[in-house]
Amino acid sequence: MNGSRKDLGPVIVGVPRESYPGERRVALVPMVVPNLTKAGFEVIIETGAGLQAGYPDKVYAEKGAKIISERAQVFASADFILQVLCYGSNDVTGKADLALMRRGQTLIGFLRPLGSAEVLQEIAATGVTSFSVELVPRTTRAQSMDALSSMGTICGYKAVLIAADRLPRIFPMLTTAAGTITPARVFVIGAGVAGLQAIATARRLGAVTSAYDMRPAAKEQVQSLGGRFVELPIEAKDAQDARGYARAQDESFYDRQRELLGRVVAESDVVITAAVIPGKKSPVLITREMVLKMAPGSVIFDLASERGGNCELTRTGETVVEHGVTVIGAINLASGVPYHASQMYARNVTAFLLHLVKDGKLQLNLNDEIIRETLVTHDGEIVNDRVRDFFQLPAPAMVGK
């Protein structure tokens, strides 16, 4: 594939204000602007883009960015558009940006590439070359670009804080004149990036923390954070894929898993679920019957709620109380810590951009795993093999172009 552009001066990177309702993050923060300008980029920022994350326009300007008042002008001027939630992950207001995109432009951000083939085809039809940060491979070489892990870290941290706030108990053990208060018991299901951060945060708050993951490799990680690893007498087949993500199992496995998890869930004050299978509905690990056996006042925080949830009672985007148990299905948690979430995302996307562009030209070298895995649309088509296989799309007509 040819990613060359005519020499029209410096490569312009544009950051529009996020339009998803309630989204407070921004794709670039002022501290990374000098890294880009030193590399030959010009950075333009839509007025107010970083305000809700704690980054006012004047700080961007002090670091060398140019502030643009009109969103349409940002899109019209920029060679690269950097967003947190692009159309695809922003199904509420993102479609309005399609009319602003143009052929030859490059779009980088969260695209939800396994969400909707129709949405991806709409993006492709604009002619933009798009890269999905969700698809950054989890390799040592790509670690600095792994925005999904960065946001997972934020989510795991924030979930524990919210759960602790809702729980009518305190987390740490306290010895007081009024007697000894026993510590809260926190159980984390799914020890990926978000789950591991939840374990670490719960431990820092003083809770007795345990965790379960069907991937045997997670045991050592859980224990290294001071958590107790719950081992069940069942074994998952091909527990994880080549990317390190959990694989979906058959329903008989989940039936047995639920049966064995029931006792641990019933004994827990807080349960954080973070079992997500990329591109698939989240497996139900906590049934209504299991919730009934939990003590009144207990809290379940379902980090898998966006894809249906790990708890049968979860309602996406809502908090409900069932049988005295609070079930939290909040989504877009990272937006609740916008200052540092934006900082982490900006570092990831800056590293990714510097990897993509050499000597002022976009490099579409498909022998490079990072580029090959993250490239979703180019020249009017969906070109990503994983995405095409997932949606069972025919081979693209422009292969090799």
pLDDT digits (tens, 9 = 90+) for 137-147: 999 999 999 99
Report the Cα–Cα distance between both ends of the chain, in Å, rounded. Answer: 5
Residue 356 belongs to a domain: yes
Catalytic, out of 169, 245, 339, 363: 245
**Does residue 117 or residue 259 have the better pLDDT?**
117
Which has more confidence, 379 or 251? 379
Q: Give the integer Cα–Cα distance in Å for 21 and 248.
A: 32
- Token pair, residue 165, equals 């706030």
Question: What is residue 78's three-state secondary structure?
Answer: coil
Of 5, 19, 73, 138, the active-site residue reads 138
Judge whether 169 and 184 are in contact, CB under 8 Å. yes
Say if 312 falls within a structural domain. Answer: yes
The total number of structural domains in the chain stands at 2
Question: With 70 as the cut, is the pLDDT of residue 7 above it?
Answer: no
> Based on the domain organization, do 111 and 23 belong to the same domain?
yes
Active site residue 149: yes
Query: Could you tell me if 265 and 238 lie in one domain?
Result: yes
Q: Which amino acid is at 50?
A: G
* Mean pLDDT, range 361-372, rounded to an integer: 96
* Domain finish residue from 281, 299, 331: 331
Task: Return the pLDDT at 215.
Answer: 82
Residue 373: CATH number of its domain: 3.40.50.720
Range of the domain at 69: 11-135+338-391
The Cβ of residue 175 has, within 10 Å, a number of other Cβ atoms equal to 8
Domain assignment of residue 147, yes or no: no
Sheet holding 325-328, edge to edge: 228-229, 208-212, 185-189, 270-273, 299-302, 325-328, 319-322
Among candidate residues 198, 239, 241, the one with its CA nearest the CA of residue 221: 198
Q: Of 143, 224, 241, 255, which one is the catalytic site residue?
A: 143
Residues 224 and 347: their CA atoms lie apart, in Å, by 27
In a domain, 103, yes or no: yes
Whether 138 is catalytic: yes
Chosen domain end from 305, 331, 357: 331
Query: What percent of the chain lies above the pLDDT cut of 90?
Result: 84
Q: Tell whether 378 is covered by a domain.
A: yes
Question: Could you confirm whether 221 is annotated as catalytic?
Answer: no
- The 10s digit of each residue's pLDDT in 102-132 is 999 999 999 999 999 999 999 999 999 999 9
pLDDT in the model for residue 395: 81
Known active-site residue 245: yes
Q: What SS3 state is found at 319?
A: strand
| Contact (CB, 8 A) for 319 and 333 | no
3-state SS string over 35-66? HHHHCCEEEEEECCCCHHHCCCHHHHHHCCCE
The pLDDT of residue 256 is: 78
Cα separation, 228 vs 226, whole angstroms: 7
In a domain, 2, yes or no: no
Active-site residue (options: 19, 73, 149, 363): 149
Q: What is the mean pLDDT of the chain?
A: 92
- Same domain membership, residue 344 and residue 324: no
